Structure 1
Amino acid sequence: MSPDYNADLERLRAIALALPEAAERTSHGSPGFHIEGGKFFAYIWHDHHGDGETAVMVKTSGADEMADLIDRDPALYYKPPYLGPSGWIAIRTDAPGTDWDHIADRVAQSWEMVAPRRLLEMGGR
């Protein structure tokens, strides 16, 4: 693992675990973040199947939003293998000047997509 990956993981961990009832669990060999007893809302991949990239995966509202994000900034976003067909998008973190506030916002939006109603009704994030 590169030192940058470890720093990226720590940043993502701080963002994700600050959300209500969030927990971390390895899934398919990568760190993932989910709501206790529920669904995943973020992952981080590093050199996944030798692609040489480090990226955070988050949920989108669907294919239209994913296509729009990729069209607007293909240097930042891409459709990840395996997760992409299920509405997940990858946000590169390995480029200089990574906007962690933007990533935090996308992680929070992803959390909201999987959060149970009771958490959202309690005020969510």
Structure 2
Amino acid sequence: MEQLEALRKSCLALPETTERLSHGSPAWFVRGKKTLAMFADDHHGDGRLAFWCPAPPGAQEELVRTEPERFFRPAYVGHRGWLGVRLDVDLDWAEVDRILREAYRLVAPKTLAARVV
């Protein structure tokens, strides 16, 4: 699946990021601990191909309000401000990379986060 491979490439390009299954789906972790992103393919029949990641305060609400066809509040982690990003729509992979770098800076130790522009 090309979206998964592109997402994997973006996540693994970030320092000390690894991949493993979490709840049956690919997920990426910083130093094997903090979750950077989770892949979701029709999660509990929601019909979406997407990923979930942490987002800065207020970002989830703003993006879901202004672009609900591209962004959503994911199950389980949405109440903590995580952002759902659809992969089954016309994508700007540069934007996806920016979202992932922002998520990385939120969860990575300061020394690693400082390495990501």
- What displacement does 1:70 show? 0.8
Q: TM-score, normalised by structure 2?
A: 0.93
* Rg larger for: 1
Please show how residues 108-123 of structure 1 align to structure 2 within 5 Å: 108-121=101-114, 123=115
Write the distance in 1 (CA, Å) between the matches of 2:44 and 2:88: 16
Residues matched between the structures, number: 117
**Given the alignment of the two structures, is residue 106 of structure 1 paired with residue 102 of structure 2, yes or no?**
no
**Given the alignment of the two structures, is residue 26 of structure 1 paired with residue 36 of structure 2, yes or no?**
no
Structure 1 residue runs of 4 or more that deviate by more than 2 Å after TM superposition: none
Which amino acid is 1:8 matched to? Q
1:11-69: per-residue Cα shift (whole Å, max 9, x none)?
0010000000000011111111111132011111001001111011111123x221111
Instruction: Report what 2:116 is aligned to.
Output: 124
Please state whether the residue corresponding to 1:16 is helix, strand or coil.
helix
Write the distance in 2 (CA, Å) between the matches of 1:120 and 1:45: 25
- What displacement does 1:120 show? 3.0
Instruction: Report what 1:47 is aligned to.
Output: 42
Write the distance in 2 (CA, Å) between the matches of 1:48 and 1:114: 23
Please state whether the residue corresponding to 2:38 is helix, strand or coil.
strand
Please show how residues 51-66 of structure 1 align to structure 2 within 5 Å: 51-62=46-57, 64-66=58-60
**Given the alignment of the two structures, is residue 88 of structure 1 paired with residue 82 of structure 2, yes or no?**
yes
Which amino acid is 1:104 matched to? D
